[in-house]
Amino acid sequence: MENSLITADAVEISEFPHLAQKYSVRGVPKTVINEEYVIEGSGPESMLLSTILEAVEKTGSG
């Protein structure tokens, strides 16, 4: 589902080392949601979904 309120960026850390440093990237993939919620490494889809829902609940966007 497409939503104009949701954006995603993929960054090649070897090309943008300052971003890797800013977000303390130690493993890939690293997902950062609203600059506050972080998932590092691969995991089940349910983990990503629960983190997104937690972020939405906190911001009142749901």
| pLDDT at residue 19 tops 80 | yes
The answer on pLDDT for 1 being more than 70 is: no
- What is the rounded CA–CA span in Å between residue 61 and residue 29? 25
CA separation for the pair 21, 60 (Å, rounded): 30
pLDDT digits (tens, 9 = 90+) for 27-54: 889 999 989 999 998 889 999 999 999 9
Kind plus residue range of the DSSP H or E element containing 56: helix 45-59
CB atoms within 10 A of CB 52: 17
- Sorted by where each begins, the domain ranges of the chain are 1-62
Indicate yes or no: pTM above 0.95.
Answer: no
